[in-house]
Amino acid sequence: MTVRGPRWGLLPGALAACLLSAAAAVPTAAAQSSTGVATTATAPAAWSDAEWGDDDTREGKGASRLTGAWRADQDRGSMVSTTRVTHAQDVWGVSAPRGGPGTLTGRGVGVALVDTGVAPVEGLASPGKLVHGPDLSFESQVPGTRYLDGYGHGTHMAGIIAGRDSTVKAGEEKTDKQFVGMAPDATVVSVKVGAADGGADVSQVIAAIDWVVAHRATHNIRVLNLSYGVSSTQPSTRDPLAHAVENAWRAGIVVVAAAGNDGEDGATRLTMPAVDPYVIAVGSSDHHGSDDPRDMRVGAWTNDGTGERRPDLLAPGKSVVSLRVPGSLADVTHPEGLVTGDRSARFFRGTGTSQSAAVVSGAAALLVQADPSLTPDQVKNALRASADTLPGSDDPTQGAGLLDVKGAYDLVKKNKVGPATRQTHPRSTGLGSLEAARGASHVVDPDNGVVLTGEQDIFGVPWDAPVWAEASAQQRSWNAGSWNGSTWTGSSWAGTSWASTSWTRRSWSGTDWSRRSWSSAEWQRRSWSADDFSRRSWSADNFSRRSWSTGTWEPRGGW
């Protein structure tokens, strides 16, 4: 392993390691969500946040020093700084191709976000900005939680990818007074799989990816963001999650995945699906509190990978400021994520490869708008070929280097992405084990302690790998609202959301889903109360270590 210095932003007693540590393979306790379904205390879903807050370089304090009010242009983790250092702002001024309206801001491009849902907060509330695909999470059966983000992760990612305050006028995206994401006019298509405690089974994620592929034409979905990863115990050439993302790739969708946040534990392979060689695997850069490019390094939390598979490139992932979901799990349990001097109370900090993946997804949307004919292989080639090697660093974990959106656009404009560019890695068959795909991430029924294991999905339906793999490859694994023999959702759009349905099948443990529809009072009591939540599920240390891939969110388990 390349030594990168001490881990940044640790809270007292290493409490902020939520997403960075590895989870034990055998579940021992359950974290209860609003739906009564829980992730195991040993390994919840693996969202890729390494840590919430993590402002050890005191960006917030420095950015609010003059007046006490936070200034985005003075904070290295703000989206103003992120879009500047990645040169996305240089692309925003370029006229849209083929006489299209406006400039290159992602207009007309759909970015699918398979995550914990998205809350319609300011920055994501303008008409056409956010549409909700099916809610495949354990919270889909409750109207008050359906589509929404009780965890706070998905909204944070959506803001980075395509956030845009409603007051930002066309042509004024470079403002430092309002919030603007990487591709501010792209459409976010949210497909919720993670519950308020982060709980999600890999079968839900696979179903979500298949749905995105089947319905990609509706909102011109050309990019899929997966700030998620699991410690699969089988090679990508057999893993079903790898097969699903490769099918999306071959369908013309650029798949961007977080590399994982376990780098500080030693040489660690990339999480699945980032380890799949076809997709774009993203690691984090760390500014170390300096504006000097020579001080930029690989974020210590980034999974190193191996000689066979490293991150493809890096993007900012240190203490990134994006949109906050008041009252969400991250918000309640990680007050250190609040931004010093933010009088609007709208923003929240997160560190990890989840955030970095979201940055690259926004960049990919800009390139696809610039040239809609680009294939995913060409987008990947442009991003890698234009990335800037970190000065003074020979760390192989940086891959091709730091994201340079303007450099990638220049290659696209000059038609230097290679018309014959085509990856020829061995393809995944998808014939491996669903249980092996889970790695250490499992969900458990809190009523009876039954863990979801083996070759079955959340409804207890047997997993027939050959049948699913063929159907997924042929883009017919979904039949209206049914997948793998069960009805998961409705069969059509209802306005800006995909219609829901009641689950009639029992869960993997044999219990009735209708028993898990908590009243709002029970929701408040069981989930949002900081005291109750910490008692019932994760301590700050356990949660961040065991779940997310950004620092706390996507470090080790999955998201």
Active-site residue numbers?
115, 153, 354
Cβ atoms 282, 311 nearer than 8 A: yes
Task: Give me the amino acid identity at 511.
Answer: T
Structure-block tokens of residue 513: 């889903």
Q: What is residue 416's three-state secondary structure?
A: coil
Give 272's DSSP letter. Answer: B
Alpha-carbon span 55 to 500, nearest angstrom: 40
Cβ atoms 137, 195 nearer than 8 A: yes
Cβ atoms 163, 181 nearer than 8 A: yes
Cβ atoms 52, 330 nearer than 8 A: yes
Q: Helix 465-473 crosses helix 202-214 at what angle (to 10 degrees)? A: 30
Give 182's DSSP letter. Answer: S
Q: How far is residue 546 from each of residues 123, 357, 504, measured CA to CA in Å?
A: 30, 19, 31
Q: What is residue 215's three-state secondary structure?
A: coil
Residue for token pair 């801001």: 105
Buried-exposed string 348-366: b where 16+ CB fall within 10 A, e elsewhere: bbbbbbbbbbbbbbbbbbb
Cβ atoms 453, 27 nearer than 8 A: no
338 beta partners: 348
Q: What is residue 258's three-state secondary structure?
A: strand
Alpha-carbon span 557 to 42, nearest angstrom: 10
Report the length, in residues, of the chain.
559
Print the SS3 string covering 372-410: CCCCHHHHHHHHHHHCECCCCCCCHHHCCCECCHHHHHH
Sort strands 187-192 and 110-115 into parallel, antiparallel or unpaired.
Answer: parallel
Cβ atoms 46, 39 nearer than 8 A: no
Alpha-carbon span 479 to 514, nearest angstrom: 24
